[in-house]
C-alpha cells in the first residue's frame, strides 16, 4: 500500500509543477480567461477559504496564532490569514505553487503598508510534502489536498496533520455522497481523456474514524457546494 501511495504522490507532484500548476493558478486567480466550469470551481473554492477563515476566527483573533497551511497552493488561505495577524507556515509539495504563493504574498502583504505596528508577518514558505512536516502549531489547516489521495493514504496524512496541531485541525475534502452525481457531471464535461489527475472522494465517516483513531473529535462541519465544486469542511480538536 505504501508503494502505491508513493507513486500517487509523485504523479501529483509532477502534475502540480506543470499542467496542474497552470490550471489551478488560473482558477485560484482573478483573471477573466476561465471557462464557465473553472469560474464555478473558483467560486466554490473561494467559499471554502471564506468558511475556513470563519471557523478559525470564530474562536477569537488570529493575531500571533501559529498556523500551518499544509498544501498551500497559491496562498489563497495563507495570505488572508497573514493579514489577520497569524504566524503562518505555508508549505506545498509543488515548488511552482510555493514560488507563486510567495510572490503573491509579497505583492499583497508588503504593498503600501508603512505602519510597522499593523504590518502582517509574511508567511514562511517551504517546498515540502505534508507527510514530512514537523514542529507544533496552534492550528493546522489542509484544504482541498486529500482529494488527490485514496483513503488508505489519507488516514496517515490526517494522523500526521493532527500530530502537528496543538489545538485544532481544519480539513476539507470532496465528500463521497456526491460520487455518482460527480461522476455523471465529469462524464458530461470530459467526454475524451481527461487532463485532470484522478480525484478521490472521502466519506465523512472515514475521515471521522481516522481522526478518532488518533484521539481527535469533530467539532464543526460545513458543506460547500456549487454546480461543479463540492467540499466538506471539518474542524477537529483533541478529544
Ligand atoms: N490548499 C490550497 C487551496 O485550497 O487553495 C491548494 C489546493 S490544490 C487543489 C492542492 C494542492 O495540494 C496543490 O498545490 C498540490 O501541490 C498540493 N499537494 C498535493 N499533495 C501534497 C502533499 N502530499 N503534501 C503537500 N502538498 C500537496
Cα(206)–Cα(66) distance, rounded to whole angstroms?
A: 28
- Distance between Cα 174 and ligand 1 center (Å): 14
> Regarding predicted confidence, which is higher, 154 or 120?
154
| Count of H-run helices and E-run strands, the chain | 8, 7
Q: How large is the average pLDDT for residues 129-139?
A: 98
Q: Tell me the pLDDT tens digit for each residue of 41-60.
A: 999 999 999 999 999 999 99
Comparing CA positions, the residue from 226, 203, 73 lying closest to residue 142 is 73
Query: Which CATH number belongs to the domain containing residue 217 in this structure?
Result: 3.40.50.150
> What residue ranges line ligand 1, CB within 6 angstroms?
9, 12, 16, 24, 28, 70-73, 76-77, 92-94, 97, 129-131, 143-145, 148
ipTM given for this complex: 0.99
Whose cell is 497551511? That residue is 69
Q: At what angle do helices 151-164 and 2-17 cross, to 10 degrees?
A: 80
Cell of 19: 499542467
Q: How large is the average pLDDT for residues 34-40?
A: 95
> Regarding predicted confidence, which is higher, 161 or 113?
161
Name 21's Cβ contacts closer than 8 Å, sequence gap at least 6: 94, 96, 97, 100
Number of domains composing the chain: 1
Atom from ligand 1 closest to the CA of residue 71? 26
**Which contiguous run of DSSP H or E holds residue 207?**
helix 204-213
Domain limits at 19?
2-238
- Distance between Cα 147 and ligand 1 center (Å): 9
Residues 211 and 236: beta-carbon distance below 8 Å: yes
Cα(89)–Cα(82) distance, rounded to whole angstroms?
A: 10
Banded pLDDT at 3 (limits 50, 70, 90): very low
Name 189's Cβ contacts closer than 8 Å, sequence gap at least 6: 37, 228
Whole-number pLDDT of residue 97 = 98
- Distance between Cα 144 and ligand 1 center (Å): 7
Amino acid at each position: 500500500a505504501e508503494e502505491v501511495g508513493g507513486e500517487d504522490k509523485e504523479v501529483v507532484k509532477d502534475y502540480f509543477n506543470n499542467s496542474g500548476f497552470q490550471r489551478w493558478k488560473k482558477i485560484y486567480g482573478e483573471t477573466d480567461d476561465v471557462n464557465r466550469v473553472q469560474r464555478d470551481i473558483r467560486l466554490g473554492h473561494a467559499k471554502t477559504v471564506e468558511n475556513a477563515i470563519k471557523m478559525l476566527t470564530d474562536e477569537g483573533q488570529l493575531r500571533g496564532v501559529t498556523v500551518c497551511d499544509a498544501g498551500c497552493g497559491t496562498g489563497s488561505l495563507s495570505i488572508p490569514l497573514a493579514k489577520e495577524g497569524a504566524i503562518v507556515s505555508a508549505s506545498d509539495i509543488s515548488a511552482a505553487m510555493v514560488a507563486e504563493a510567495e510572490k503573491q504574498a509579497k505583492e499583497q502583504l508588503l504593498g503600501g503598508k508603512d505602519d510597522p505596528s499593523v504590518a502582517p508577518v509574511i508567511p514562511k514558505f517551504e517546498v515540502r510534502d505534508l507527510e514530512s512536516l514537523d514542529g507544533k502549531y496552534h492550528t493546522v489547516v489542509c484544504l482541498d489536498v486529500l482529494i488527490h489521495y485514496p483513503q488508505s493514504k489519507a488516514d496517515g496524512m490526517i494522523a500526521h496533520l493532527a500530530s502537528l496541531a496543538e489545538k485544532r485541525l481544519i480539513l476539507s475534502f470532496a465528500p463521497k455522497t456526491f460520487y455518482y452525481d460527480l461522476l455523471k457531471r465529469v462524464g458530461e464535461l470530459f467526454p475524451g481523456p481527461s487532463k485532470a489527475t484522478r480525484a478521490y472522494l472521502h466519506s465523512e465517516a472515514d475521515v471521522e474514524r481516522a481522526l478518532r483513531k488518533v484521539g481527535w473529535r469533530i467539532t464543526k462541519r460545513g458543506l460547500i457546494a456549487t454546480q461543479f465544486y463540492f467540499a466538506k469542511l471539518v474542524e477537529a480538536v483533541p478529544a
